[in-house]
Amino acid sequence: MTKSRVILITSLACATSAIVLFGIFGFSENPSSKHTVYDRVRTEGYRIYTIPLPEKLDFAGEEVPLSQSDVRERLDREFLVNTYWHSNAFLWMKRANRWFPVIEPILELNGVPKDFKYLCMVESSLIQDKSPRGAVGFWQFMEETAKQFGLEVNEEVDERYNVERSTEAACRYFKQAYSKFGSWSMVAASYNMGMTGLEDQVTRQRQSSYWDLILNDETSRYVCRIVAAKTIINNADTYGFVIRPIDLYEPLKYKNVTVDHSIDDFASFAEGYNMTYKEFKLLNPWLRQAYLRNKPGRVYTFKVKE
């Protein structure tokens, strides 16, 4: 091949590459071109807006001081994150339809504001989660704290996975914390960082309001996230979510039976109620083994198929 022929082929290849690269990138470098991404966005009507904060917000009847610029910015962050995290918000709504009717009556019976159901939602997204630190269940109890507030935790039984029992334990925590802090916002903050840690900050900073304290990043976001979750869930359409009744998870159907003896094999036990082992364990995730060596006099309540 002659030198001139090589030069010609090389020149054509470079020209072709330039045309391809211009086709890929050229339109994005010239916003005025009719072929720009900007024009396509305008043509398709796609917009992304910031989320305006409501004029008033509260947690458990306590007003959020929106006049404080740092509070507004912390809330702004949580509204943006949780509104545009679409999949998570949808799952909150779906699961809330199943579990809020279980949690709300227990909160009410114990004199705890109903807004604490949103704390539960933020803690675990209403699933039987386990954190890297070992916090477990809807309310994310650590083992020591769970036992302190009346839950049974051992190899066979872990009531942190029992929604009703763990909600009752959470209520005991909230009431004890309220007796210390006299504020439900502070109670919620203490659930995240611990009563002792929050008491230390109150003493150090000589302030008793959650909104007037400088706390670690996680706790400073915590109540703001709960307030944002509450507002978004209760005003789904306002925040752009279209969710139909058919999309929601239905409440579980079951009946309760009491058991005061040991059970050697839950698979056989389940068959007696026309259930599979899987169906039984999904209704009773707090039973951690395939058997139960019950202590004399101990009575448990199992959920079984109606």
Domain boundaries, the chain: 3-44, 68-247, 255-304
Yes or no: say if 266 and 287 are a contact pair by the CB < 8 Å rule: yes
Distance CA 102, CA 166 (A): 12
The fraction of the chain above a pLDDT of 90, given in percent, is: 81
- Of 160, 114, 155, residue with least CA distance to 138: 160
pLDDT of residue 158: 98
Which tokens sit at 174?
């909230």
* Lowest pLDDT segment from 16-30, 55-69, 130-144, 280-294: 16-30
Tell me the pLDDT tens digit for each residue of 209-261. 999 999 999 999 999 999 999 999 999 999 999 999 999 999 999 999 999 99
Rounded Cα gap, residues 194 and 297, in angstroms: 35
Nearest to 168 by CA among 126, 232, 123, 112: 112
85-126 pLDDT, tens digit each: 999 999 999 999 999 999 999 999 999 999 999 999 999 999
Pairwise CA distance, residues 33 & 27, whole Å: 7
Mean pLDDT computed over 64-92:
97
pTM assigned to the model: 0.84
Predicted confidence (pLDDT) at residue 41 exceeds the cutoff of 50: no
Which residue reads 């706390």 in tokens? Answer: 215
pLDDT of residue 57 exceeding 70, the answer is yes
Look at residue 43 in the predicted model and tell me its pLDDT.
Answer: 53
CATH number of 68-247: 1.10.530.10
pLDDT in tens, 126-180: 999 999 999 999 999 999 999 999 999 999 999 999 999 999 999 999 999 999 9
32 has pLDDT over 50: no
Confidence of residue 296 (pLDDT cuts 50, 70, 90): confident
R_g (Cα) of the chain, nearest Å: 28
Q: Tell me the pLDDT of the chain averaged across its residues.
A: 89
Measured CA to CA, the distance from residue 102 to residue 272 in angstroms comes to 26
